[in-house]
């Protein structure tokens, strides 16, 4: 307390923000590391998203403990999207997970869309809500994108880009995190 005593309100807010960022970074690292216990075996980590073909081709019928219910075209795709799909999954206890895949014409545009989520969300957080950001890396350590996690928002939301692919996962805690950790891209 004595260290913060002379820094005023701005310094205290800055110190709290820095502490929250460290906790958020740790959370993202845990999300990206996957689960090595349980019946599914160790997670290999995400791979690079395919650079050609339809986004429909990368939708899996099974992602971890979650089974595909169905897919549909996105009614109103954001500007610049060249391919998109919406998928819904069912998990333990009937929980529902929303999954949106968007393909942009360049990696820079997809990365910018995820950065916009970070910038737009950080100032709108309410008590009990958290936001974190980190690198998305393949199992061999190659950076392929950025991941942003919004937790405590009910439903939790995970956003990431993997090359030209931008992904959105929504669902109740802890299922959204489990699904995001299990995706292969």
Residues 80-135 pLDDT 10s:
999 999 999 999 999 999 999 999 999 999 999 999 999 999 889 999 999 999 99
Q: Cis link prior to 5 (omega < 30° from 0)?
A: no
Reference 70, options 50, 87, 83; nearest CA is 87
Q: In this predicted structure, what is the pLDDT of residue 51?
A: 67
Is the pLDDT score of 154 beyond 70?
Answer: yes
Is the pLDDT score of 63 beyond 90?
Answer: yes
Sketch the domain layout of the chain as residue ranges.
Answer: 2-36+45-182
User: What pTM, to 2 d.p., does this model score?
Assistant: 0.73
Is the pLDDT score of 166 beyond 50?
Answer: yes
- Asked if residues 165 and 103 have their Cβ atoms less than 8 Å apart, the reply is yes
Sequence-distant (≥ 6) Cβ neighbours of residue 139 within 8 angstroms: 44, 45, 46, 47
Calpha distance 77→66 (Å, rounded) = 25
Tokens of 12: 């205290």
- Asked if residues 131 and 125 have their Cβ atoms less than 8 Å apart, the reply is yes
Calpha distance 112→59 (Å, rounded) = 23
Is the pLDDT score of 14 beyond 90?
Answer: no
């Amino acid at each position: 307390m004595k260290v913060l005593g002379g820094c005023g309100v701005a310094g205290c807010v800055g110190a709290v923000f820095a502490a929250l960022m460290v906790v958020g970074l740790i959370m993202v690292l845990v999300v990206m590391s996957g689960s090595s216990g349980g019946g599914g075996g160790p997670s290999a980590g995400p791979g690079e998203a395919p650079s050609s073909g339809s986004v429909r081709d990368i939708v899996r019928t099974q992602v971890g403990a979650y089974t595909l219910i169905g897919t549909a075209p996105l009614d109103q795709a954001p500007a610049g999207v060249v391919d998109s799909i919406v998928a819904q999954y069912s998990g333990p206890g009937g929980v529902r997970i929303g999954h949106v895949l968007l393909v942009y014409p360049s990696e820079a545009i997809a990365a910018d869309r995820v950065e916009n989520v970070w910038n737009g969300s950080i100032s709108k957080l309410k008590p009990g809500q958290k936001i974190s950001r980190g690198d998305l890396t393949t199992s061999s350590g190659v950076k392929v994108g950025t991941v942003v996690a919004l937790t405590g928002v009910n439903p939790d939301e995970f956003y990431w880009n993997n090359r030209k692919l931008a992904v959105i996962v929504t669902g109740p805690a802890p299922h959204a995190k489990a699904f995001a950790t299990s995706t292969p891209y």
